[in-house]
Amino acid sequence: MSWAGAQVFKSADGSTYDGVLSSSSASIIGQASTVLGDFAGGNVFDHTNSVTIALLMPGELSSYTKPQVLNGAGAIALSVPGGWEIVQYMTATLLSPGVYQLSGLLRGRRGTEWAIGRHAAGDTFVLLTTTALRRMNFGTSEIGLARSYKGVTFRAKLSDATAQSFTNRAVGLKPYAPVHLTGSRDGSNNLTISWTRRTRIGGEWRDFVDVPIGEESLQFVAEIWNDDFTTLLRTISSITTTSTTYSAADQTTDGLTPGDPVSVRIYQISAVVGRGSVLEGQA
C-alpha cells in the first residue's frame, strides 16, 4: 500500500494542536554513508568530492546535465550540526539497490557555504522537490519561540504521533554573507575594506544592473579581530555602502601594526532578524 500523505500539527503549549499544512507527496530521504569532503572552490563545480547516499525508502535518483543543474535540477539538502548544506549534483551512480554515489557537485547553494566542511558519515539526506516539500509561514512573531510539531499520517491518530520541538531561527530571512573581501591602503597605511553584497531576491547576474537590496535599507557591520579571531578589537556599525575605512591611527590604538593584514568579519543587517551570515577573512 502506498503512503497516502500526512498533516502537520503545531502546538504552542504541547497540549493543544492545530493543523497547519498537509501533503500527499513523500520526500525521498536517506543517510550519507561517506563523508562529503571540504571544498574551497567557490561557485564552481566540485569534481573532487562525492558522497554516497543510502536511501531509507523506495525511490530513485536521476542524473542531470550541467545546463539542467544550472537551471535548478538535482537539489538536495545534507545535514550538518546546526543546519544544512544545500547541494546540487549532476551524476547519480547506482552502486547497489537504494545506494547512490553523487558527484559533479555545486556546493553551498542558497547561502549555505558556511556548512561546507562540516559533514560526517550519517548526515541526513533529503531530495529537494517542489512536489514533496512544503514551507510553513511562521510569521515574525514566532521567531525564537519553541513550538511542538506532529506529523500525522492520514487516517492515523494525533495522539499516536511523537512530538518534535522546533524553534524558528528565521534562517530563511537572514541576509547572505557578503563575498570578495579586499583591502587597499594609501601611503599612510589607512585601510579601506571592501566587499560585494549578495541578495536573496532577484540575484540574477546581469550586465550593468546591480541586484536588489532585498532589505528595508542597505546596512552592514564590520568587526576587527586579532589574528586568530579570539579577541574582538573594534566594531564599525551603521555602514551604508560596501566599504569602510580603518585608519592607521585606529589600527595602532587597537594594538595592530599599520600595514599588516587585518582580520575582519562583515555582516549585512536585516531590520527583521539582525545580522546575516558572516564573511570572514583578512584585508
Question: Is 259 within the bounds of a domain?
Answer: yes
Instruction: Give residue 233's pLDDT band: very low, low, confident or very high (50, 70, 90).
Output: very high
- Across all residues in the chain, what is the average pLDDT? 94
pLDDT tens across 234-253, in order? Answer: 999 999 999 999 999 999 99
Q: Which of residues 101, 136, 169 is at a domain's end?
A: 169
Same domain flag for 205 and 255: yes
Number of domains in the chain: 2
Q: Work out the percent of the chain whose per-residue pLDDT is above 70.
A: 100
Question: Is 174 within the bounds of a domain?
Answer: no
DSSP label of 209: B
pLDDT of residue 206: 81
Nearest to 90 by CA among 110, 67, 71, 65: 65
pLDDT tens across 179-222, in order? Answer: 999 999 999 999 999 999 999 888 877 888 888 888 999 999 99
Would you say residue 1 has pLDDT above 70?
A: no
Same domain flag for 252 and 222: yes
Domain span at residue 201? 179-282
DSSP string, 10-61: EESSSS--EEEEEESSPPPEEEESSPPPP----SSEE-S--EEEEESSS---
* Exposure string over 80-89, b if 16+ CB within 10 A, otherwise e: beeebbbbbb
Whole-angstrom distance, CA of residue 244 vs CA of residue 232: 17
Question: Is 261 within the bounds of a domain?
Answer: yes
Model pTM?
0.87
pLDDT tens across 61-87, in order? Answer: 999 999 999 999 999 999 999 999 999
Whole-angstrom distance, CA of residue 137 vs CA of residue 126: 20
Q: Which of residues 136, 169, 202 is at a domain's end?
A: 169
Instruction: Give residue 132's pLDDT band: very low, low, confident or very high (50, 70, 90).
Output: confident
Tabulate helix, strand, coil % of the chain (nearest 5).
Answer: 10, 40, 50
CATH of the domain at 183: 2.60.40.10
Same domain flag for 156 and 50: yes
**Grid coordinates given for 109:** 547553494
Same domain flag for 147 and 34: yes
